[in-house]
Chains A and B, each alone.
Chain A
Amino acid sequence: MTDPTGGPVVATPPEEGGPAHGAAHEHPSDLQYVYIALFLAMVTAAEVAVYYVKSLAGLLVYILVTMAVVKFSVVVMFFMHLRFDSKLFRRFFITGIILALFCYVIVLSTFHIWHR
Chain B
Amino acid sequence: MTVTDHDVSVPEESSTEGSHHELEPGHPPTSTGLTNEKVAIWAFLGSECLLFGGLISTYLLYKGQSNPGTIRPHDIFDIPYTSVSSFVLLMSSLTMVLALSAIQKGDHRALRVWLLTTALLGGSFVAGQCYEFTVFVREGLNLRTNLFGSSFYIMTGFHGAHVTIGVLMLLSLWSMSVKGKLPSEKAEVVELIGLYWHFVDIVWIVIFTLVYLIP
CA separation between A113 and B171, bound complex, in Å? 42
CB-contacts of A49-91 with B (<8 A): 51, 60-61, 64-65, 67-68, 71-72, 75-76, 79-80, 86, 88-89
CA separation between A103 and B86, bound complex, in Å? 27
Shortest CB distance B134–A (Å): 23
Name the A residues within 8 Å of B209 (CB-CB): 47, 64-65, 67-68
Minimal Cβ-Cβ distance residue in A for B17? A1
Q: Is B101 in contact with A88, judged by CB distance below 8 angstroms?
A: no
CB-contacts of A93-115 with B (<8 A): 93, 95-97, 99-101, 103-104, 107-108, 111, 113
With contact pairs A92-B43, A107-B57 given, residues A7 and B4 touching in the complex (Cβ less than 8 Å): yes
Name the B residues within 8 Å of A95 (CB-CB): 46
With contact pairs A96-B46, A104-B57, A108-B57 given, residues A10 and B3 touching in the complex (Cβ less than 8 Å): yes
Shortest CB distance B84–A (Å): 10
Count the A residues whose beta carbon is within 8 Å of the partner chain — how many?
59
Stretch at the interface among B21-29, B137-145, B147-155, B176-184: B21-29
Name the B residues within 8 Å of A21 (CB-CB): 27-28, 33-35, 38, 188
Q: Is B98 an interface residue (CB 8 A)?
A: yes
Choose among A21, A27, A47, A95 the residue with the greatest number of B CB atoms under 10 Å from its CB: A21
With contact pairs A9-B8, A33-B101, A101-B53 given, residues A76 and B38 touching in the complex (Cβ less than 8 Å): no
CA separation between A44 and B52, bound complex, in Å? 21
Stretch at the interface among B122-130, B157-165, B197-205: B197-205
Q: Is B135 an interface residue (CB 8 A)?
A: no
Name the B residues within 8 Å of A113 (CB-CB): 60-61
Name the B residues within 8 Å of A116 (CB-CB): 64
With contact pairs A14-B24, A17-B32, A92-B42 given, residues A47 and B213 touching in the complex (Cβ less than 8 Å): yes
